[in-house]
């Protein structure tokens, strides 16, 4: 990264999704055990967020392996994120201390502003400027609570503003990247400013996403199958490698041990330029993370749509 610290090239995602009861939280130490298995397999980078409810089990899994003497804290890279209701400058250190308490650790490797959007405790829109939040991020880095700081779901204009007005350059930008949304302009902008891009939801429509209609490429897409057969890999591995070959750190999530093996076994081949271009050609600018219920917020980062969905965070009477 631009501060000289190294980030492992692939990250394990720990967001377990959303159902009618809200964010799905881990049960019966399942995530703790998957994390500990992941470390055995070779995973070194873990992505979480205060809102995911997974910091605690992630921390337990990591600490179990440290206590066993299998790895040292400095071998592991933990990314977590500040939630929207903690955007005031003096709330940032408090929020990170809470995350560290959940994780059972005394620093994180990377702390990200999850969204440029500030909210009040009741989830109504707050006018707090993300540049005020960024000052709080600079504070936590100075305090040693986060080794590096960055942003997530910021658009180009918002990232430009942080570069211009901030005292510390963001080390990383985390955005949605998969074959249906290649984000080439934003990726080029970030990378030309020495900002590492992390790509979330890396499988796009290869995997099922709720009951949404899914455009190509699906997991058996002929273009991906042809590339996969050439290298003796699976199509999910090809898509992860496509990210790595664009210098993007993909963040695949799985709770299945055989897939932990599959998703990290991508470092013994490399795609050719024409293969990268073929996958880029699926781009439709299609987002699976589209919180249109925030689109009247002054710092909403994405294109607006005609019929925004209801806010699942707002408590209904």
Which one, of 43, 116, 110, lies nearest residue 81 by Cα?
Answer: 110
Strands (E), 34-193: 45-47, 77-82, 108-113, 146-152, 172-176
Question: Please, what is the minimum distance in Å from the beta carbon of residue 13 to ligand NAP?
Answer: 2
The residue of the chain with the least Cβ separation from ligand NAP equals 13
Return d(Cα 244, Cα 88) in angstroms, integer.
35
Question: 125 forms bridges with which residues in the sheet?
Answer: 119
Question: Please, what is the minimum distance in Å from the beta carbon of residue 12 to ligand NAP?
Answer: 8
CB nearer to ligand NAP: give 100 or 266: 266
The 3-state DSSP class for residue 185 equals helix
CB nearer to ligand NAP: give 107 or 288: 288
Question: Please, what is the minimum distance in Å from the beta carbon of residue 184 to ligand NAP?
Answer: 19
List contacts with ligand NAP (CB under 6 A).
Answer: 13-15, 47, 152-153, 174, 200-203, 207, 236, 251-256, 259, 262-263, 289
130 has catalytic annotation: no
Question: Please, what is the minimum distance in Å from the beta carbon of residue 155 to ligand NAP?
Answer: 13
DSSP 249-304: EEE-----HHHHHHHH--SS----HHHHHHHHTT-----S---GGGTTSTT--S--
CB nearer to ligand NAP: give 67 or 200: 200
CB nearer to ligand NAP: give 143 or 305: 305
CB nearer to ligand NAP: give 22 or 143: 22
Among candidate residues 15, 52, 130, 300, the one labeled active-site is 52
Longest alpha-carbon distance in the chain: 56
Report yes or no: 130 and 165 within 8 Å, Cβ to Cβ. no
Question: Please, what is the minimum distance in Å from the beta carbon of residue 317 to ligand NAP?
Answer: 28
Return d(Cα 176, Cα 213) in angstroms, integer.
18
Return d(Cα 5, Cα 218) in angstroms, integer.
36
- What residues act catalytically? 52
């Amino acid at each position: 990264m631009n501060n000289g610290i190294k980030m492992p090239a692939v990250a394990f995602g720990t967001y377990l999704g959303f159902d009618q009861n809200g964010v799905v939280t881990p049960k019966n130490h399942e995530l703790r055990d998957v994390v500990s298995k992941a470390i055995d397999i070779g995973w070194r980078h873990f992505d979480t967020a205060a809102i995911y409810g997974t910091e605690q089990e992630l921390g337990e899994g990591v600490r179990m392996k440290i206590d066993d003497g299998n790895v040292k804290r400095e071998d592991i890279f933990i990314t977590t994120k500040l939630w929207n209701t903690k955007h005031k400058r003096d709330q940032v250190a408090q929020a990170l201390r809470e995350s560290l308490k959940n994780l059972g650790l005394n620093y994180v490797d990377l702390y990200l502003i999850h969204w440029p959007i500030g909210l009040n405790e009741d989830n109504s829109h707050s006018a707090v400027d993300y540049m005020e939040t960024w000052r709080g991020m600079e504070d936590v880095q100075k305090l040693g609570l986060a080794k590096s700081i960055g942003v997530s779901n910021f658009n180009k204009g918002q990232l430009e503003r942080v570069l211009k007005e901030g005292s510390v350059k963001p080390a990383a930008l985390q955005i949605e990247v998969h074959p249906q949304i290649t984000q080439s302009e934003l990726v080029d902008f970030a990378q030309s400013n020495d900002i590492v891009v992390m790509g979330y939801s890396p499988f796009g429509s290869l995997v099922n996403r709720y009951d949404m209609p899914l455009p190509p490429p699906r997991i058996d897409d002929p273009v991906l199958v042809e590339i996969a057969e050439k290298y003796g890999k699976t199509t999910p591995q090809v898509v992860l490698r496509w990210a790595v070959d664009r210098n993007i750190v993909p963040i695949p999530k799985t709770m299945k041990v055989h897939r932990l093996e599959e998703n990290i076994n991508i470092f013994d081949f490399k795609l050719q330029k024409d293969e990268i271009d073929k996958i880029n050609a699926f781009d439709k600018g299609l987002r699976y993370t589209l919180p249109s219920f925030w689109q009247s917020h002054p710092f909403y980062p994405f294109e607006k749509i005609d019929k925004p969905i209801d806010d699942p965070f707002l408590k209904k009477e």
